[in-house]
Amino acid sequence: MNPSGNIGVMEQNGDDHLATPIHGPSVHSDNPQERIQARRLRIAARQEARKREALGEYLDGKKENEEEQSRSYKQKEESRLKLTKLLLCGTELVTNIQVATDIREIHRRVEEEEVKRQRLEKLENEVKTSQDKFDEITAKWEEGRQKRIPQELWEMLNTQQVHCAGLIEDKNKLISELQQELKIKDDQYVKDLKKQSDDISLLLERMEEQVKNVMKNFRQELIHIEKAFELERQELLSSNKKKWERALQAHNAKELEYLITRMKKVEDYEKQLNKQRAWDCEEYNTIKIKLERDVQILEQQLQQMKATYQLNQEKLEYNFQVLKKRDEESTVIKSQQKRKLNRHFTIIDAEKFREIWLMNEEEAKALAQRAFDVDCVIHVQHLGLPWKMPDFWFLRNVGPISLQQRKSAAQILEELLLQTEDGTEEAVSEDESYLDLPKQVSAKTTRRILMLLCDESGFLIESKLLSLLLPLEKSECYLLRLDAIFSALGIESEDDLYKLVNFFLRYRSHRLSSAKSTSIYTERTSLMSALERMSLLSQADRRSQVSKSEVESIVEQETLQGGDYESLVDKELREKEDLSSPRLIHPNDVLKILEAFVMGLKKPKEIRPVVRVKKDVRDNSRDSEYWESLAMVIPVSKQSLWDALYKALEKYYLVLTQRAKLLMENDSLEQQNAEMQSLLQQYLQAKVNAELQIPPTQGFRMPTK
């Protein structure tokens, strides 16, 4: 409720003297409630002051708010205090009964103790007196025994009896008294029971009353608190409402003001609009007239333009026709030129290559010849062995090593068509003339198939080309058309062409074999399988081709490999060929076959580009071998022989030079000797010798010569 309460409690001692509230509850009051109230107010005031300082503004509205808030708080506090007091009083009222019974019990105990003490005292007294009496009586018995006179004895006995009776009476009296007391106690017990039940009923009554009372009060206080809140809410509501109304009024006034100004403006604008409209109307009319005149002029111009356009169109049409014609011509020329150009360039290249090759070869061969000469000299002169000119294949070779050139499909076509065109009789020698073609396929059949294909698949050729081909020769026409068809089908190489032809043949054979059960479906499937086999074959071909490119021709290679399948296929095809003639292929089937073929061809196409590149370039793998073998005309064994010979000769040369030197020395020594002899002779024959006592000649013997 009041979180800073502890702060206030802590501060209260220190600040008691500083802040003394002038009015309202005082901190120094005797009433603790008042003091608490005063402290609370002080704390609230302090907080408020702090808040104001923080905000730096003093708003009247806030003050009001504070007051209003405190009203409900006050009510709550009031109710709480009242209720706690009520509870306290109620419990006190209820416990009062207990306390009352307690004090009654204490009083009873005290009284009981007193009574008990008295009773004991009384009993003791009684015992004493009765004992006295009893003693008296017993003493008298002795007295009686001494009495001899019966009368006296009787008298004494009588008195004794009276005494005893008195004693017994006393005792009985006591007993009855005690019994009386007991009875009273019994009554007391009953009374106590009654009293207890009364007390308990009273207690219950009070408790119930208390519960009711408390409930009532709690309700009442709740209502009070609610009322306080309600009141506060009402006040808040009314104040807010007032504020709201004030604001609304201000708003209304402003709205009205705005409305009036707006109306004024609207009027103004309307006037302006009218003016504007009149002006616009006039302007519009003038412009309209002017524009209409313009339109007339423009229409005239348009007519003129149209006339010129017509003229131009005719001119252009004529030009277009001319150009078209020219274009057609140029396409024809272009295709012709292209083919020519292609062949020309390859020829020139080959020529150049051949020249260079020959030149180098000549040089190399000259060198080799020199080496052979040297070898011959060495063998004949030094070793005394007979020498034989070695015979190598490459020495005999002149010109570049040429593999059989692979022809393009178009080339073959050309050849084929041209050849067959010359004469049908030539077909006898077809085997020799077409080494490249697989043996089983005759040129004739090939040609027929191609013709058929050409006739049936005209749709693959561009219409423009067709129109251009019309004036051409028949064979040329066929050639061009086939060219176009092949390009459309993706047939480029010799192999592809043969494959196509083979495919046709196979199809035909297949059809013949399954002539009875002419189901197209089976045809298709078998066709497909055949095609697959074909593609497999071709792949194998290609692989072997790549690996063994030094073998001159494919045909040779295939025969070398001794392909089992090849022979098998051969056999098959042979049989079929016997059975068939190309005419048996119905023109209507051509399209189907083509479709199947193209489907089959698609797969291996991916490998094709690489292969093609290799085909175009001249195969030069054997070249290096050729040149290397040229370089190695003198084998290594011979070279080592040469080396050994060289070394031996060198040593021989060394010995010879030493010998020559020694001979030279010998000569010089001989010469010296001769000179010395001549000198000695000279000296001996001199006169000096005679003049000497002892002639030196005596000392030594004359060297005899």
Partner 1 sequence: MQDSPSATSGPKAHSQSTFNLQRQASTAGGASSGASPLKTSQNPAPIHLKPKTTNVRRMRRIISEDAEWTLAIVPLLTELCIQHIVKNFQNNPILKQLLPEHQKKVLSHLPHDLPLTVTANLIDDENYWHRCCIKRWPVCHVAKHGGSWKRMFFERHLENLLKLFIPGTTDPSVILDLLPLCRNYVRRIRVDQFLPPVRLPIPPQAEEQSDSGSEGEGNEPEKDHCQLESLVAGLKHLEELDLVYGVKDCGMNFEWNLFLFTFRDCHSLAATIKACHTLKVFRLTRSKVDDDKARILIRSLLDHPALEELDLSHNLIGDRGARAAAKLLSHSRLRVLNLANNQVRAPGAQSLAHALAHNTNLVSLNLHLNCIEDEGGQAIAHALETNKCLTRLHLGGNELSEPTATLLSQVLPINTTLISLNLTCNHIGLDGGKQLLEGMSDNKTILEFDLRLSDVSQESEYLIGQVLHANREATRQRTLSPGYFMAPITNNSTENSVG
Min CB(103)–partner 1 separation in Å: 5
Give the CA distances from residue 492 to residues 328, 500, 503, 562, in Å, rounded to whole numbers and listed in that order.
Answer: 25, 11, 16, 27
In degrees, to the nearest 5, what angle opens at C-alpha 648 toward C-alphas 645 and 652? 135
Min CB(160)–partner 1 separation in Å: 32
Residue given tokens 């709740």 in the structure block: 222
Contact status, residue 417 vs residue 502, Cβ threshold 8 Å: no
Min CB(104)–partner 1 separation in Å: 9
For partner 1, the closer of residues 6 and 588 by Cβ is: 6
Min CB(18)–partner 1 separation in Å: 21
Among candidate residues 416, 435, 436, the one with its CA nearest the CA of residue 426: 416
Dihedral over Cα of 166, 169, 174, 177: its sign: negative
In degrees, to the nearest 5, what angle opens at C-alpha 384 toward C-alphas 379 and 385? 60
Q: Does 617 bind partner 1 (CB under 8 A)?
A: no
> Using CA atoms, how far apart are residues 431 and 426, in angstroms rounded to an integer?
10
List the interface residues with partner 1, window 98-137 (CB under 8 A): 99-100, 102-103, 105-106
List the interface residues with partner 1, window 177-216 (CB under 8 A): 189-190, 193
Piece in contact with partner 1 (CB under 8 A), picked from 30-38, 160-168, 210-218, 233-241 = 30-38
For 582-620, where are the alpha helices, taking DSSP H only?
587-602, 608-616
For partner 1, the closer of residues 6 and 517 by Cβ is: 6
Piece in contact with partner 1 (CB under 8 A), picked from 1-9, 406-414, 416-424, 524-532 = 1-9
Q: Does 31 bind partner 1 (CB under 8 A)?
A: yes
> Using CA atoms, how far apart are residues 474 and 460, in angstroms rounded to an integer?
18
Calculate helix-pair angle for 150-377, 60-146, nearest 10 degrees: 140
Q: Does 9 bind partner 1 (CB under 8 A)?
A: yes
Q: Does 33 bind partner 1 (CB under 8 A)?
A: yes
Piece in contact with partner 1 (CB under 8 A), picked from 3-11, 347-355, 436-444, 632-640 = 3-11
Q: Does 28 bind partner 1 (CB under 8 A)?
A: no
Region for residue 274 given its phi and psi (left: phi exceeds 0; alpha: psi -120 to 50; beta: otherwise) = alpha
For partner 1, the closer of residues 105 and 169 by Cβ is: 105
For partner 1, the closer of residues 178 and 599 by Cβ is: 178
Dump the DSSP string for 142-163. HHHHH---HHHHHHHHHHHHHH
Using CB under 8 A, which of 1, 22, 149, 694 touches partner 1? 1
Contact status, residue 480 vs residue 472, Cβ threshold 8 Å: yes
Q: Does 699 bind partner 1 (CB under 8 A)?
A: no
DSSP label of 700: S
For partner 1, the closer of residues 100 and 374 by Cβ is: 100
Residue given tokens 């009368």 in the structure block: 151
Q: Does 32 bind partner 1 (CB under 8 A)?
A: yes
Q: How many residues form the binding site for partner 1 (CB under 8 A)?
A: 25
Q: Does 693 bind partner 1 (CB under 8 A)?
A: no
For partner 1, the closer of residues 1 and 149 by Cβ is: 1
One-letter identity of residue 321: Q
> Using CA atoms, how far apart are residues 164 and 133, in angstroms rounded to an integer?
9
Among candidate residues 492, 480, 486, the one with its CA nearest the CA of residue 335: 480
For partner 1, the closer of residues 6 and 693 by Cβ is: 6
For partner 1, the closer of residues 32 and 562 by Cβ is: 32
For partner 1, the closer of residues 111 and 373 by Cβ is: 111
Min CB(102)–partner 1 separation in Å: 5
φ/ψ (deg, to 5) at 346:
-65, -40
What three-state secondary structure class fits 542?
helix
- Integer Rg of the chain from CA: 79
For partner 1, the closer of residues 2 and 629 by Cβ is: 2
List the interface residues with partner 1, window 79-98 (CB under 8 A): 84, 91-92, 96
| Binding positions for partner 1, rule: CB under 8 A | 1-3, 5-6, 9, 30-33, 35-36, 84, 91-92, 96, 99-100, 102-103, 105-106, 189-190, 193
